[in-house]
Amino acid sequence: MPSLKLGVPKGSLQDSTVELFARAGWRISVNSRSYYPAIDDPEIECMLVRAQEMARYVEHGGLDCGLTGNDWIIESGADVQEIAELVYSKTSLARVRWVLAVAENSSINSVKDLEGKVIATEVVHITQKYLERNGVKARVEFSWGATEVKVPKLADAIVEITETGSSLRANRLRIVDTLLESSTRFIANRAALSDPWKREKIDSLAMLLDGAIKAYSRVGLLLNVRRADLDNLLAALPSLRNPTISQLSDPNWVAINTIVEEKTVRQLIPKLKAARAEGIVEYPLNKVVY
C-alpha cells in the first residue's frame, strides 16, 4: 500500500495542529515517548518534527509534506512547494509577527539606532536581511530560547515572535518595528508532487484542512419564515453564499439554511426574530469547502 510521509510540527503548533486535523477528519494520537504519532489513516505515516526544521526535511524528501510557518521556510531557504496557507497559530486563528523589541527605557527607537549593537534572535538570517535592507551593521546572535530575558544585559535588542505582544509587555519590552508577518503553510516536496497518488492525497489533505480552518469562525443557521416575510428577512441575513431556501409542506412557509460568522450571531438572531423568523437553530460546523 502506498504511504504519504507527513510532518506534524512539534512544539507550540503541535496541539492546535492535532485539533485541526481532527476537525478535518483525521485523528492523530501523540505519545509523549514517541516521535511517530498514530493516525487513523493507513495511507499516512506521521512524524513529529520541529517547525524550524520541517522545510529542510520536506525539501530533501525525508518527508513528503508537512506544516510549518512561512517564517521558518524563509529562514531555512528551503526549496519546497507551498500547497496552502492555513492561518492558525498556537492560540488563535491569526498570523504571528516577528518584531524588533527593546527594553521599555531603551534609547533605541528605530532600526537606525541598532548600529553597532547586539541583537539576539532565533531567526538570524531574517534579521540580517532586515539590517541589510536598512543599511545597518549590528551583531546578530542566535538565541537558544528565553530570548525576552536577554535585554538589556545580554543584548541591546531582540527579534522575537509574538501573537498579541502580551509576553513582551510582561517582560517590560517595547516593540520598535515588525520584520515579518507569518502564518502556517502546508508544504510539499517537489518530487512527491510528481507522483499522481501522492499529489491527490496531498491536495485532499489541503482542501479539508483549509475547510476546517474556514469552519472555525462560522456556524450554520436553520430557520423558518412565512413566504410573505421572506424579502424582509433576507435583507437582514448575511451569508457565505446565497442562503438555501426550501419549500415546507405548508405552501405559505419556507425553510432557510445558511452559514454566517459566529461573532455576528448574537446580534443577528434578535434581528431574525424581529423579521418574524421561527424555529431558529444554530449548529456548529467542522468544515466549509467552497
What is the CA angle 26-28-31, rounded to 5?
175
Q: Report the pLDDT value the prediction gives residue 239, as an integer from 0 to 100.
A: 67
Q: Cα–Cα distance between 37 and 103 in angstroms, integer?
A: 41
In whole angstroms, what is the distance from residue 214 CA to residue 216 CA? 6
User: Which is more confident, 92 or 264?
Assistant: 264
- List pLDDT tens digits, range 23-73: 999 999 998 888 999 999 999 999 999 999 999 999 999 999 999 999 999
Convert the pLDDT of each residue in 174-190 to its tens digit. 999 999 999 999 999 99
Give the mean model confidence (pLDDT) for residues 202-216: 95
How far apart CA 282 and CA 257 sit, in angstroms, is 10
Instruction: Map 120-185 to HEC letters.
Output: EECCHHHHHHHHHHCCCCCEEEECCCCHHHHCCCCCCEEEEEECCCHHHHHCCEEEEEEEEEECEE
> Tens digits of per-residue pLDDT, 131-140?
999 999 999 9
pLDDT of 90 higher than 80: no
> What pLDDT, on the 0 to 100 scale, is given for residue 225?
95
Question: What is the model's pLDDT at position 124?
Answer: 97
Q: Pull the grid cell for residue 117.
A: 549593537
pLDDT at residue 164 is higher than 90: no
pTM for this one?
A: 0.86
**Position 142 confidence tier, pLDDT thresholds 50, 70, 90:** very high
From residue 193, alpha-carbon distances to 16, 19, 76 in Å are: 26, 26, 21
pLDDT tens readout for residues 7-35: 999 988 899 999 999 999 999 999 888 89
Task: Give me the phi and psi of 183, to 5 degrees please.
Answer: -140, 165
pLDDT at 89: 77
pLDDT at 94: 80
Q: Are 50 and 35 in contact (CB under 8 A)?
A: no
Averaged pLDDT of the chain: 93
pLDDT digits (tens, 9 = 90+) for 217-265: 899 999 999 999 999 998 888 765 678 999 999 999 999 999 999 999 9
Q: What is the mean pLDDT of residues 153-178?
A: 92
